[in-house]
């Protein structure tokens, strides 16, 4: 028997069902609220207390620091799965058999070439363009060369659009780096794995044979898994709401890339490294920056710290911190910003300001240190986040369409001018 929530408005009581999820979370279903109360709605800036959908993809518990994709713990997936396998799990709901994974990879390889005409769009950007802006534009431009990808009404159409974007997105992402480095575009190699191919298209020199350090490959694969989905975050909610108008998958993902770009969201991994570099160049005194982060009159925020949902350690940050230490040691890299990050984190975690607000390192705090050790330029960090988040965006968009979710259209509380008469300009 489901529980009931009672709301009293203007002396009248209204009852609403309380829904219970498979992890015993409770949600008040207010879909009848405006009707039964003749116009009363709710308001919740930033949707801090408001669920937008029921989802079976990712579960996270911010208090306990739990993150699971389709019921599998992130710690297990990061340790035992690879990124393409995890992508399949997120999108189709089950870990693939070897045959299913091979077919998925073969279907992706079949679609991994991008129309040569697309290069003209890339050529139109200045070298100084931020890769996230280029990637969002190129992803949207893909629609023009794959017009049938807008359709997702049948299982076949949906699968075809999914395979196309899984195949072409890494190519476009690699192109955004090649634009900056001035290297010719690389077509990849259909005999390589998904992440190996990405690395080849990003870094392989035309006059050199392709090779990748297994440590680098493993670290990159793990980072992509850790970024693959995170329930209804800002960019995923963007992908869902754009897709709810039945805009195509590519257009929805292009919008998600723009949302992810913001420094409060995926852009934080670039902002963290820039912050750590600033601290290093300013003598390495991170106490001064902790004071700035606590000073309400100072707009400075400790980038890579805090999270809307995690009020404990972000489980991804824990895994990435260990991986950062291992990768730098294995590659024999001494990066002074790692010491600064460690010291900053240790100090913040002891500080009342951060403790009282449950501010802990998030996924972005250490990821940039690994990306840098892997030779990835700082402006590409958020592109790496996008590559990782792609299967999550796809899975969430697919679920939204398969559940026939209504078009997203929030209400508001109007606080503007009440009715007034027009005044001719000569009388103003």
Closest residue by beta carbon to ligand SDX: 306
Position 286 contacts ligand SDX (CB under 6 A): no
Burial class (CB within 10 angstroms; exposed 0-12, middle 13-18, buried 19+) of 164: buried
Region 27-56 residues binding ligand SDX, contact defined as CB under 6 A: 46
Pair 386, 173: CB distance under 8 Å: yes
Residue 361 makes CB contacts below 8 A (sequence gap 6+) with 304, 305, 313, 314, 317, 321, 345
Residue 107 designated active-site: no
Position 372 contacts ligand SDX (CB under 6 A): no
Q: How many Å apart are CA 371 and CA 391, to the nearest integer?
A: 20
Q: Which of 246, 307, 339, 404 is catalytic?
A: 307
Task: Report DSSP state, residue 56.
Answer: S
Q: How many Å apart are CA 371 and CA 377, to the nearest integer?
A: 8
Closer by beta carbon to ligand SDX, 194 or else 354:
354
Closer by beta carbon to ligand SDX, 68 or else 307:
307
Among 304, 315, 368, 388, interactor with ligand SDX by CB under 6 A? 304
Position 244 contacts ligand SDX (CB under 6 A): no
Q: What residues pair up with 18 in beta bridges, in sequence order?
A: 28
Residue 129 beta carbon to ligand SDX: minimum distance, rounded to whole angstroms: 23
Region 211-240 residues binding ligand SDX, contact defined as CB under 6 A: 230, 233
Position 265 contacts ligand SDX (CB under 6 A): yes
Query: Which tokens sit at 355?
Result: 């403790």
Residue 364 designated active-site: yes
Among 108, 109, 239, 293, interactor with ligand SDX by CB under 6 A? 293
Place of tokens 């713990």: 73
Residue 249 makes CB contacts below 8 A (sequence gap 6+) with 149, 150, 152, 161, 162, 165, 243, 394, 397
Contact stretch for ligand SDX (CB under 6 A) within 23-31, 84-92, 195-203, 361-369: 361-369
Task: Report DSSP state, residue 305.
Answer: B
Query: Which tokens sit at 136?
Result: 């969002």
Residue 209 beta carbon to ligand SDX: minimum distance, rounded to whole angstroms: 36
Q: Which of 82, 221, 229, 364 is catalytic?
A: 364
Number of residues that bind ligand SDX (CB under 6 A): 22
Alpha carbon distances (Å) from 311 to 97, 267, 306, 367? 36, 21, 8, 19
Give contact residues for ligand SDX (rule: CB under 6 A): 46, 230, 233, 264-266, 268, 293, 301-309, 357, 359, 362-364
Which residues are tagged catalytic?
307, 364
């Amino acid at each position: 028997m489901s529980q009931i929530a009672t709301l009293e408005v203007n002396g009248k009581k209204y009852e609403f069902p309380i829904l219970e999820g498979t992890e015993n979370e409770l949600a008040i279903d207010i879909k009848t609220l405006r009707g039964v109360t003749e116009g009363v709605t709710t308001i919740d800036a930033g949707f801090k207390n408001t669920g937008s959908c029921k989802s079976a993809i990712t579960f996270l518990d911010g208090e306990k620091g739990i993150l699971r994709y389709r019921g599998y713990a992130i710690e297990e997936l990061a340790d035992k799965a690879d990124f393409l396998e995890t992508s399949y799990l997120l999108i189709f709901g089950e870990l693939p058999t070897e045959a299913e994974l091979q077919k998925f990879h073969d279907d992706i390889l079949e679609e991994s070439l991008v129309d040569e005409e697309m290069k003209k769009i890339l050529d139109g950007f200045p070298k100084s363009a931020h890769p996230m802006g280029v990637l969002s534009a190129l992803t949207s431009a893909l629609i023009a060369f794959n017009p049938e990808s807008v359709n997702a009404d049948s299982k076949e159409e949906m699968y075809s659009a999914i395979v196309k974007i899984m195949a072409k997105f890494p190519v476009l992402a690699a192109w955004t780096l090649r634009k900056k480095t001035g290297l010719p575009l690389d077509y990849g190699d259909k005999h390589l794995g998904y992440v190996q191919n990405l690395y080849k298209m990003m870094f392989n020199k035309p006059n050199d044979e392709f090779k990748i350090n297994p440590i680098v490959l493993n670290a990159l694969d793990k980072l992509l898994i850790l970024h693959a989905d995170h329930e209804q975050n800002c960019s995923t909610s963007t992908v869902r709401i754009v897709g709810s108008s039945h805009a195509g998958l590519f257009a929805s993902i292009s919008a998600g890339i723009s949302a992810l770009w913001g420094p409060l969201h995926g852009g934080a991994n670039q902002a963290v490294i820039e912050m750590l570099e600033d601290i290093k160049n300013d003598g390495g005194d991170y106490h001064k920056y902790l004071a700035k982060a606590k000073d309400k009159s100072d707009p400075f925020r400790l980038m890579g710290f805090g999270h809307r949902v995690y009020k404990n350690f972000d489980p991804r940050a824990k895994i990435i911190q260990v991986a950062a230490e291992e990768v730098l040691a294995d590659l024999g890299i001494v990066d002074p910003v790692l010491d600064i990050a460690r010291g900053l984190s240790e100090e913040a975690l002891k500080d009342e300001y951060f403790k009282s607000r449950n501010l802990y390192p998030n996924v972005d705090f250490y990821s940039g240190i690994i990306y840098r050790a892997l030779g990835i330029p700082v402006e590409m960090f958020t592109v790496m986040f996008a590559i990782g988040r792609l299967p999550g965006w796809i899975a969430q968009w697919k679920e939204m369409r398969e559940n026939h979710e209504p078009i997203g259209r929030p209400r508001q509380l109007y606080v503007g001018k009440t009715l007034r008469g027009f005044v001719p300009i000569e009388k103003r």
